[in-house]
Chains A and B, each alone.
Chain A
Amino acid sequence: MPKDSGIGASPKRREDIRFLTGLGQYTDDISLTGETHAVFARSQVATGIIKSIDTSAAENMPGVLAVFTGDDFVDVGGNPAGWLINSRDGEPMKEPKRPVLAHGKVRHVGDAYAAVIAETAEQARDAAEAIEADIDEQPAVVDMKSALAGGALVHDEIGTNQCFDWGWIEDNRAATDAAIKSAPHVTTLELVNNRLVPNAMEPRASTGVFDPGTGDYTLYTTSQNPHLTRLLICAFVLGIPENKLRVVAPDVGGGFGSKIYHYGEEALVLSAAKKLGRPVRWTASRSESFLTDAHGRDHVTKIEIACEKDGTFLAFRTETMANVGAYLSNFSTATPTFLHGTLMAGNYTVPTLYVNVKAVFTNTAPVDAYRGAGRPEATYSLERAIDKCAQELGMDPLALRRKNFIKPDQFPYAAAAGLEYDTGNYHALVDKLEELADLSGFEARRAATKATGKLRGIGVNTYIEACGIAPSNLVGVLGSRVGLYDAATVRVNATGNISVMVGAHSHGQGHETAFPQVVADMLGIDEGSIDIVHGDTSKIPFGMGTYGSRSLAVCGSAVVRATEKIINKAKKIAAHMMEASEQDVEFSEGQFSIAGTDKSVGFGDVALKAYIPHNFPIEDIEPGLEETAFYDPANFTYPAGAYACEVEVDPDTGKVTIDRFTAVDDFGNVINPMIVTGQVHGGLAQGIGQALLENCTYDENGQILSASFMDYAMPRASDLPLYTVDHSCQTPCTHNPLGVKGCGEAGAIGSPPAVVNAVINALHSGGHTDVTHIDMPVSPARVWAAMNS
């Protein structure tokens, strides 16, 4: 019987009530007395020199209160990159300043060079159009290869468009080169990991408030990590003391990475609020989101797999160009390096590998972590290439993978890409996949499809990811400028109900429901009496936020540690109440008792006693029952999975239809299976979207071509199948107290290669054996072109 509460149960989500009744409070839903509206003037050219900006007409427009340009922010700091990456030769990466508003030069379409504050948003928009900017358009740098070849520069002051040229692991380079040179078989594949626009359904929004009486600022903003945003604004950009800025991320309508980062609009509304003494709000239109949200992926990669004739892997080597866009976003240098190169060994016992990544500035929107962040790129390169390798060797693709899997008894396993996987069982995942996806029934289904004139194909792959980001000691060595622990405070109120203040931020992940399940299990009390508080720097101790499938593994572990502290203190109080020794107190199912006696007090009585400390040994026990814990993980966690996709291809139109998709994942222990399944569903839709539909493209002049939902194909209900999802193969994480690994990104990481492998398989079955690869998105036009080339 499934449990109906606590760890492993699937209670209905409590946050759903407000979302289903229209009572959610997203940033743009908050209106404040005296509020004003900001609108940005944005570059319409990919790059150009700002010769002059005349704001006089705009300033005299109805309702206009202030106009800002880059000149107003020359004395404040830039928005920094969070990771310092060194090139292979030891040179630190190039870090050009990213200003609040463009100054001197605009560098991508949408780059803001001025902002208008007015009484209404439409007045501000009218005035923004009246700003006369003389911008001398310059040749745009768009294609990465040309960007590296010389010519026009995105940032003149750094003298190059290359941010860094990174090698991983440099010491393995010679051995890898040698292995590839002498290998009996080498598979080579060149591929593009297409640029994506995250498109959380809630566009970014920020409202700045300044209280002249106290000097305190408040920022309401669409953030996955309000403390990180506060740190960036205070320590790097505006120099506001951290204790004078409160950042509130209320209900947030999805993030997928794009709302991790600090953006200039946040600094602008705060500065403007101070200048005007009135709240200043801004909400992006979807068109602005396309131009200015951090995009994802955008890698061009060549991968080589060296192996024996029997398929035993000998070495992997990749060369990648990674687009970082016009400016370095906060995680942009970590994403193509330590979230990508370190995963290149996959689930395999390959003895050596070498990854080279050149990060390239272009006149496009910044590119940063998007659901999966580097790991989808690694998985796609490797798992596509392995499929090609299997075809070249005449091997079954799953058999080739099985042959090279790390075996269950080899864990912990030091993989060739430098990470130590603590646990896993990849053979079990594939066994489960074969069963659930009914792989043995595929040929019959293929025959049935053939009778309809279509081509059926199957694609399989596995993946490994590193989640639970991240052990601060390790990431510090790797260049991170922050720690990646998390924090929680458990506050037991006098009447026994509990507030848990967490550093993770829930914007769809269901923390408000799942985290209480953990605390309720530990304390033996009703989870309905436990509330989660998140998203407000004035209420929570600290937190690095939600991304990298880290919330439960890192912040959840902090919740466990804080709850353990609560139990320890409550035991002292209980011992005092029962006039017993603390060592004799046992705690179970919400009751403190003394072994061998009938003495017992309930958790609620202890909580009350903590706040009414009459006759309290105050020299031994402080009043109150509230504990905080910071948790820093000992290692990454390593979710893994095996996926299968079956497609039907219409040979007349090239249209690919997904008939069935099976995802088998090992997330370790699972707290709320319903929520975990939902996370996988969402990840699958984004991965399938990348594989079949989504593509952000710029023309040679740097104009974005897919600038709205009219041209950027978002997955819709009719594009997707029902999924079969399983997470019963569990090898619990060995180093965090819950044994959990993280589930948020898996679907987006594991699914793209399965889809493309399936399409290639289908085409081969139709006789198109010369088609060895089609770049994503595998659109009807591309499939048809491949079949008719």
Chain B
Amino acid sequence: MYDFSFVKPGTVADAVTALASEDAQALGGGQTLIPTMKQRLASPAKLVSLTGIADMQGVSQSGGVLSIGGATTHAAVSAQAGGFAGLAALAGGIGDPAVRNRGTIGGSLANNDPAACYPSAALATGATIVTNTREIAADDFFQGLFETALDEGEIITAVHMPIPEASNYQKFEQPASRFALVGVFVAKYASGVRVAVTGASEGGVFRWSEAEAALGANFSPDAVSGLSVAPGDMIEDLHGSKAYRAHLVKVMTSRAVAAAG
């Protein structure tokens, strides 16, 4: 790694101030950023740790909405999001136990890795991403591979997710990294069904609107059997072709619906 200075503020305000200096970068759990820096692919002059901010920790539930502090670890979400079982299960399946003890929801969403799990949950639940300056709807937040609506120095302080009536996340793991080769989050609400897909698309996480319509009419695993995902936008790499990923989107969606019950 290139060297940098390190600060660990105790409040969001202090973190925002610290991030105002040139080439400063926020550090969540570091499970992506630190490996990236080890490869010398990032060179911040200052890292601002968000792990010491008590206000950004923890999970709470109120009025059908689950609120998660931006610096809450995956392990904490897995343990504390009992009111939203689909999300707790997703969090409990990210990476491995040691990664889950450090990695944070805010860090994951801000990074927007196309194979990360959390973006699918945020998008499928129509979550609100709360930052130090504003609230951003998930539909507006994800803007392509590693791109989000966040401005420079903006911090995700919390995520609000409306708790679905039924939900499930199905991940087909890339055999090496264990990230999602294809991951599908299905969330059923009184107002309709939302389906978000991660891992598959060159555009990053996306909503599969045809499936949402079909499942809205008939929430059953077979409802998507007649649908197909256009392979053109899918990722093709060592681990799967476009056609394979397009196929898996359908399989994982169907399985998520079956598991959501």
Verify that A and B bind, or say they do not: yes
Binding site for B on A (CB under 8 A): 122, 125-126, 129, 285, 287, 652-655, 693, 695, 697, 705-706, 709-714, 779-781, 784-785, 788
What residues of chain B lie closer than 8 Å to A655, measured between beta carbons?
A: 172
In the complex, the answer to whether B244 meets A122 with C-beta atoms within 8 Å is: no
Within 8 A of A (CB), among B179-225: 179
Cα distance A697–B239 when bound, in Å?
11
Bound-state Cα–Cα, A779 to B173, Å: 12
Contact between A785 and B244, CB atoms less than 8 A apart = yes
Q: Which residues of B are interface residues toward A (Cβ below 8 A)?
A: 1-3, 38-40, 172, 175-177, 179, 238-241, 244, 247-248, 251
A712 cross-chain contacts in B, Cβ below 8 A: 176
Chain B nearest Cβ from A435, distance in angstroms: 33
- B172 near A711: Cβ-Cβ < 8 Å: no
Question: In the complex, which residues of chain B have a beta carbon less than 8 angstroms from the beta carbon of A652?
Answer: 251
Could you write out 11 A-B pairs with CB less than 8 Å apart? Answer: A122-B3, A654-B244, A655-B172, A709-B177, A710-B179, A711-B176, A711-B177, A711-B238, A713-B175, A779-B239, A784-B244
* CB contact under 8 A between A129 and B40, given known A695-B238, A785-B241: yes
Asked if B247 and A784 sit within 8 Å, CB to CB, the answer is yes
The CB with the most chain A CB atoms within 10 A, among B1, B39, B40, B240, is that of: B240
Cβ distance A772 to chain B, nearest Cβ, rounded Å = 21
State whether B247 touches A780 (Cβ < 8 A): no
Given known A-B contacts A122-B3, A287-B39, A653-B251, A710 and B241 have beta carbons under 8 A apart: no
When distances are taken between beta carbons in the complex, the residues of chain A under 8 Å from B39 are 287
State whether A705 and B238 are in contact (beta carbons under 8 Å apart), knowing that A287-B39, A710-B177 are contacts in the complex: yes
Chain A CB within 10 A, most for which of B1, B241, B244: B244
Question: How distant is the Cα of A287 from the Cα of B39 in the complex, in angstroms?
Answer: 9
Docked complex Cα distance between A705 and B238 (Å): 8
Give complex CA distance A712, B177 in Å: 8
Q: What's the least CB distance linking A720 to chain B, in Å?
A: 13
| A7, B40: Cα distance in complex, Å | 53
Q: Give the distance to chain B from A786, nearest Cβ to Cβ, in Å.
A: 11
Q: List residues of chain A with CB within 8 A of the CB of B179.
A: 710
Chain A residues whose C-beta falls within 8 Å of the C-beta of B241 in the assembled complex = 781, 785
Distance between A277 CB and nearest chain B CB, rounded to angstroms = 29
B176–A709 CB distance below 8 A: yes
Q: What residues on A are CB-neighbors of B176 within 8 Å?
A: 693, 706, 709-714
Are A122 and B177 in contact (CB-based, < 8 A)? no
Bound: A712/B237 CA distance, A: 12
Contacts of A693 in B (CB 8 A): 175-176
- In angstroms, Cα B39 to Cα A422, docked, is 53
* Further 18 A-B residue pairs, CB within 8 A, beyond A125-B40, A287-B39, A653-B172: A122-B1, A122-B3, A126-B2, A285-B38, A653-B251, A654-B244, A693-B176, A705-B238, A706-B238, A710-B177, A711-B176, A711-B238, A712-B176, A713-B176, A714-B176, A780-B172, A780-B244, A785-B244
Chain B residues with CB below 8 A from A285, complex form: 38
Q: Which residues of chain A are within 8 angstroms of B240 by Cβ–Cβ distance?
A: 780-781
| A287 to B, closest residue via Cβ | B39
**Cα A708 to Cα B239 with chains together (Å):** 14
Residues of chain A within 8 A of B244, CB atoms compared: 654, 780-781, 784-785
Give Cα A487–Cα B119 distance, bound, in whole angstroms: 61
Provide the residues of chain A in CB contact with B239, threshold 8 Å: 711, 779, 781
Q: Which of B1, B3, B176, B239 has the most CB of A within 10 A?
A: B176
Shortest C-beta distance, B74 to chain A (Å), equals 18
Q: Which residue of A lies closest to B3 (CB)?
A: A122
Tell me the smallest distance from the CB of A698 to a CB of chain B, in Å: 11
Report the minimum CB–CB distance from B23 to chain A (whole Å). Answer: 17
Q: Is the CB of A779 within 8 A of B1?
A: no
Q: How far is the CA of A693 from the CA of B177 in the complex (A)?
A: 12
Tell me the bound Cα distance from A779 to B240 in angstroms. 9
Q: How far is the CB of B115 from chain A (nearest CB, A)?
A: 10
B257 to chain A, nearest CB (A): 14
Q: Which residues of B contact A709 (CB under 8 A)?
A: 176-177
**In the complex the two chains form, what is the Cα distance from A713 to B40 in whole Å?**
23
Q: How far is the CB of A453 from chain B (nearest CB, A)?
A: 12
Q: How far is the CA of A705 from the CA of B239 in the complex (A)?
A: 11
- Closest 10 A/B residue pairs (Cβ): A713-B176, A713-B175, A781-B240, A710-B177, A652-B251, A781-B244, A711-B176, A693-B175, A705-B238, A712-B176
B9, chain A: closest CB distance, angstroms: 26
Residues of A within 8 A of B238 (CB): 695, 697, 705-706, 711
CA distance A659 to B59 in the complex (A): 39
A122 neighbours in B (Cβ, 8 Å): 1, 3
* Residues in A neighbouring B1, C-beta threshold 8 A: 122
Q: For the complex, what is the distance from the CA of A710 to the CA of B35, rounded to whole Å?
A: 11
Looking at B39, B238, B240, B251, the one whose CB has the most chain A CB atoms below 10 A away is: B238
What is the chain B residue whose CB lies nearest that of A705? B238
The residues of B that contact A788 with a CB separation of less than 8 Å are 247
Expressed in whole angstroms, the minimum distance between the Cβ of B6 and any Cβ of chain A is 15
Q: A129-B40, A695-B238, A781-B240 are in contact. Are A653 and B248 (CB under 8 A)?
A: yes
**Smallest distance from the beta carbon of A701 to chain B beta carbons, Å?**
15
B248 touches A779 (CB 8 A): no
Contact A779 B175 (CB under 8 A): yes
From A781, which residue of chain B is reached at the shortest CB distance? Answer: B240
CB distance from B42 to the nearest CB of A (A): 14
Report the separation of the CA atoms of residues A285 and B35 in the bound assembly, to the nearest whole angstrom: 12
Nearest CB to that of A711 among chain B residues?
A: B176
**Closest B residue, CB atoms, query A714:** B176
Chain B residue with the shortest CB-CB distance to A129: B40
Chain B residue at minimal CB-CB distance from A655: B172
Residues of B within 8 A of A785 (CB): 241, 244
Closest A residue to B240 using CB positions:
A781
* Nearest Cβ on chain A to B187's Cβ, whole angstroms: 22
Q: With the chains together, A126 CA to B176 CA distance in Å?
A: 30
Report how far A652 CA is from B177 CA in the complex, Å.
Answer: 21
B175 CB to closest chain A CB, in angstroms? 4
Chain A residues with Cβ under 8 A from B38's Cβ? 285
B40 — which chain A residues lie within 8 A by C-beta? 125, 129
Looking across the interface, which residue of chain B has its beta carbon closest to that of A779?
B175
Which residues of the partner chain A approach B172 to less than 8 Å between Cβ atoms? Answer: 653, 655, 780
**Smallest beta-carbon distance A85→chain B, Å:** 33
CA distance A285 to B176 in the complex (A): 18
Nearest CB of chain A from residue B185's CB, rounded to whole Å: 18
* Minimum C-beta distance from B255 to chain A (A): 8
Are B175 and A780 neighbours in the complex by a CB distance under 8 Å?
A: yes
- Complex CA gap A584/B24 in Å reads 87
* CA A84 to CA B10, docked complex, whole Å: 67
CA distance A359 to B158 in the complex (A): 59
Closest B residue to A285 using CB positions: B38
Contacts of A713 in B (CB 8 A): 175-176
Bound CA–CA A706/B1 (angstroms): 22
Q: In the complex, how many angstroms separate the beta carbon of B211 from the nearest chain A beta carbon?
A: 16
Q: How far is the CA of A714 from the CA of B96 in the complex (A)?
A: 15
Q: How far is the CA of A113 from the CA of B241 in the complex (A)?
A: 37
Residue of A nearest to B1 (CB): A122
Cα-based distance from A711 to B239 in the complex (angstroms) = 8
Tell me how far the C-beta of A336 lies from the nearest C-beta in chain B, rounded to whole angstroms. 25
- The minimal Cβ–Cβ distance linking B172 to chain A, given in whole angstroms, is 6
Task: Name which residue of chain B comes closest to A706, CB basis.
Answer: B238
Residue from A653, A693, A714, A785 with most neighbouring chain B CB atoms (10 Å) = A653
Question: A713 vs B240: C-alpha distance in the bound complex, in angstroms?
Answer: 13
